Amino acid sequence: MSLKVIGAGLGRTGTLSLKMALEQLGFEKCYHMEEFIRNPSTVGEWEKAQRNKPANWDLVFEGYESAVDFPVCSYYKELMEKYPEAKVILTVRDPEKWYDSASSTILKFNPPLGMVLGWVFTYPFLKKTRDHMRMGLHNQKMLKNAFRNAKDRGSTIEDFNRHNEEVKAYVPEERLLVYEVKQGWEPLCNFLGVDIPDSPFPRSNIREDFREWLISLFKQ
């Protein structure tokens, strides 16, 4: 199975809603950071990509037809090369609102002490714990590469805008959709060449419960 859709939009741009929409449209399963957390066994491939070494993307995306959010958006160029028929969706939103959301969620998550102690005690015995800790280091490096100083509003918004402009410049126009999830089904379905569903566009906003949601994923 090959990826048919690659999400190049950064986290907190409606990527979870897009994941749900793509799966509803038949592009399932859709890989998202929550998939990485639930099953971190392919962390070694992401580490290779981070070191600019060839990764086994077919292994990472086995059983998936689409992929969005971090860490996918950090490697959209490599994935475009691997899957030349895949279409690219750049999810965007107002930069100021994006920072308000990201700074209170993905840019500040600290696991509770109990979870950290659990990892320390189970590290020698559970491969999943070791993979989760490797995943955490990978993600920290990924965010540092994406944002010069996540605590600084101005520079982080500049980095956000720069990423979006780089995607627009890199991806051929016929292969790219610049998309806000508030636009709903029509532009997405037209781009993908599928029928527009009768059901409402899925909406997911976990900002208020982000920490609890993320912790629950690690426990699954």
How far does Cα 149 stand from its chain's mean position?
20
Least confident of 28-32, 162-166, 206-210: 206-210
Average pLDDT of span 180-204: 96
What's the pLDDT tens digit per position in 99-149? 999 998 888 766 655 666 666 767 677 888 888 889 888 999 999 999 999
CB–CB of 99/155 below 8 Å? no
What's the confidence (pLDDT) of residue 109?
Answer: 63
What's the pLDDT tens digit per position in 51-98? 999 999 999 999 999 999 999 999 999 999 999 999 999 999 999 999
In order of their start, the domains of the chain are 5-219 (3.40.50.300)
Average pLDDT of span 159-165: 98
The residues near 111 (Cβ < 8 Å, ≥ 6 apart) are 215, 218
What's the confidence (pLDDT) of residue 42?
Answer: 96
| Single-letter residue type at 126 | L
What's the pLDDT tens digit per position in 163-173? 999 999 999 99
∠ Cα 203 142 3 (to 5°): 55
> Helices (H) and strands (E) in the chain — how many of each?
11, 5
Q: CA-CA distances (angstroms) from residue 146 to 71, 139, 142, 183? A: 11, 10, 6, 26
Treating both helix axes as pointing N-terminal to C-terminal, what angle do 127-146 and 113-122 enclose, rounded to 10 degrees? Answer: 130
**CA–CA separation, 184 vs 170, rounded Å?**
25
Read off the tokens for 46. 């992401």
CB–CB of 119/136 below 8 Å? no
Length of the chain: 220
Read off the tokens for 7. 């999400």
Average pLDDT of span 187-193: 98
What's the confidence (pLDDT) of residue 115?
Answer: 63
What's the pLDDT tens digit per position in 34-56? 899 889 999 999 999 999 999 99
**CA–CA separation, 47 vs 41, rounded Å?**
12
